[in-house]
Amino acid sequence: MRLKEILSFHPFANQFSALYDIEINAIKMDSREITNGDMFVCINGFTVDGHDYIEEAIEKGAIIVVAERNVEATVPVIVVEDTVRFLAMAASCFYQYPTSKLSLIGVTGTNGKTTVTYLLENIFKQCGKKTGVIGTIQMKIGEDVYPVDNTTPDALFLQRTIREMIDQEVEQVIMEVSSHALDQGRVYGCDYNTAIFTNLTQDHLDYHDSMDDYLRAKSLLFAQLGNRYDCKAKKFAIINQDDPASKKLIRSTAQSVITYGIDRDAMVMAKSITLTSTGTTFLLCTPDGDTMINSKLIGKFNVSNMLAATAAALSNGIPLEVIKSALETIPGVNGRFELVPHSRSFSVIVDYAHTPDSLENVLTTIQELAKGKVYVVVGCGGDRDRTKRPIMAKIALRYADKAIFTSDNPRTEEPEMILHDMVNGLTPTDGHYQIIVDRRKAIHQAIHQAAKDDIILIAGKGHETYQQIGLVKYHFDDREVAKEALLLKEN
């Protein structure tokens, strides 16, 4: 694309008119990915400053550099105030504003984002629509899956991916939008037609200064929901009325608000909920009518997720019967309350709970279902919110009969120090626990001890198929390790 076109969004593009005819092959933000004819946009990151890689980028073939300051370079340099914003705008333009050409739903909140995206994928697929999903587990175009590094990718990857989805005739994209992404402008320029809020509880206080700052980041999804009233392109904010943050989020958007809830009055509600160890039934009450739902998903929190998906689907014109059928057929989400199959008289559940609230939700659900003892094997991730560690340890001890504290992804922290953060401050009245640093040994130990009717929760890593120790990711899958331990168990 010609530079003139890429700069079409720039308010003072004329100053670069001498460069207008330069033909750009691709836009890149990483010097390591540059090939001949690319534009290199320098981002000053948390770890390194992209401006330090200009020479490398030029050596690899960059023909133009976009920077935040005057820099020495053998190719033309465009200086802008904010390269992050430039990157998002240029990428949207380069890929021909892909998000405005299909229907895009964004899901934010501390817990439940992945689950809601998969529920919605199922609903839209039932309608015969080709879907795209972007989130924690993977990126999906129809049935093809691709690995991802982040829950919400950077602006460049995102715009390119959605263009690819359009080329592959995807009509509906459902994506998770993390608070990091909102804060870092990864989703600038995304034209969502629906924004969903699941809930706000403690996480990521390593990144956000306070819960207020965390909420501010989340609220950007709603504040940035197109402030234009266009009957052909309606916008909806789907808000969890049960969450105390709902009022602030409702005030942050100028668009139609659709509330959902279990405990407080809302437009879409669940009533007469029955939770069992094999699923959940409830009366789904909506402005389009009421219907009984018989879902395989377990736990009250999943009813909330189903309400979020229902509210979004209804506002997008999906009939209630289709929603019912989709909610009733989805078998569960990879690594979320996933039962490890075996023929023993106790149960093993792998779940992605890695925040205080999700751990509490999953453990209270298990406690209600368990006839025997509840075991929990849990750790906390390294290079992440330290303040959630003791809270998660207390929750584990409050709801489980036996707690084994172990490593999650230690990343660059010492595993023993993470465990120290978890248990430091616990008192004997909080309960008894074991520390087994090696996660494999911890899982084996729990399974070795389990007896008839017990339930073992292996929390924190869910679908993950690796454990990151230092900078290296080793293959590790809680489900595989549990199966291995089950084979070794004698009684």
Ligand X SMILES: Nc1ncnc2c1ncn2[C@@H]1O[C@H](COP(=O)(O)OP(=O)(O)OP(=O)(O)O)[C@@H](O)[C@H]1O
Ligand Y SMILES: CC(=O)N[C@H]1[C@@H](OP(=O)(O)OP(=O)(O)OC[C@H]2O[C@@H](n3ccc(=O)[nH]c3=O)[C@H](O)[C@@H]2O)O[C@H](CO)[C@@H](O)[C@@H]1O[C@H](C)C(=O)N[C@@H](C)C(=O)N[C@H](CCC(=O)O)C(=O)O
- Binding residue positions for ATP: 109-115
Cα–Cα distance measured from residue 257 to residue 284, given in angstroms and rounded to the nearest whole number = 19
| Contact flags string 150-179 toward ligand API, x per CB under 6 A | -x----------------------------
CB 116 → ligand Y: shortest distance, Å?
13
Indicate which of ligand X, Mg ion, ligand Y, none lies near residue 351 (CB less than 5 to 8 Å, by partner kind): ligand X
Indicate which of ligand X, ligand Y, ligand API, none lies near residue 362 (CB less than 5 to 8 Å, by partner kind): ligand X
Cα–Cα distance measured from residue 341 to residue 309, given in angstroms and rounded to the nearest whole number = 28
CB 454 → ligand Y: shortest distance, Å?
30
Span from 110-118, 123-131, 320-328, 419-427 in contact with ligand X (CB under 6 A): 110-118
CB 317 → Mg ion: shortest distance, Å?
26
Known binding site: residues? 31, 109-115, 150-152, 178, 184, 186, 384, 408-411, 460, 464
* Residue number, nearest CB to ligand API: 381
Location of structure tokens 């992440």? 384
Cα–Cα distance measured from residue 215 to residue 137, given in angstroms and rounded to the nearest whole number = 24
| Contact flags string 404-423 toward ligand API, x per CB under 6 A | ----xx--------------
User: Based on CB atoms, which residue is closest to ligand API, 181 or 313?
Assistant: 181
Whether 214 and 319 have beta carbons less than 8 Å apart is answered as no
Indicate which of ligand API, ligand Y, Mg ion, none lies near residue 461 (CB less than 5 to 8 Å, by partner kind): ligand API
CB 96 → ligand API: shortest distance, Å?
31
Instruction: Determine if 235 is a binding residue for ligand API (CB under 6 A).
Output: no
User: Based on CB atoms, which residue is closest to Mg ion, 202 or 281?
Assistant: 202
Cα–Cα distance measured from residue 486 to residue 2, given in angstroms and rounded to the nearest whole number = 61
Known binding site for meso-2,6-diaminopimelate: residues? 384, 408-411, 460, 464
Indicate which of ligand X, ligand Y, ligand API, none lies near residue 145 (CB less than 5 to 8 Å, by partner kind): none
Instruction: Determine if 114 is a binding residue for Mg ion (CB under 5 A).
Output: yes
Residue 281 dihedral angles phi and psi, to the nearest 5°: -120, 145
Query: Cβ–Cβ contacts within 10 Å for residue 452, how many?
Result: 11
CB 344 → ligand X: shortest distance, Å?
23
Among residue numbers 101 through 120, which ones bind ligand API (CB under 6 A)? none
User: Based on CB atoms, which residue is closest to ligand Y, 45 or 425?
Assistant: 45
| Contact flags string 284-323 toward ligand X, x per CB under 6 A | -----------------x--xx------------------
User: Based on CB atoms, which residue is closest to ligand Y, 181 or 396?
Assistant: 181
Query: Cβ–Cβ contacts within 10 Å for residue 218, how many?
Result: 27
Span from 39-47, 124-132, 285-293, 456-464 in contact with ligand API (CB under 6 A): 456-464
Instruction: Determine if 108 is a binding residue for Mg ion (CB under 5 A).
Output: no
Among residue numbers 326 through 365, which ones bind ligand X (CB under 6 A)? 336, 351-353, 357-358, 361-362
Applying CB under 6 A, the residues found at the interface with ligand API are 136, 151, 354, 381, 384, 408-409, 460-461, 464
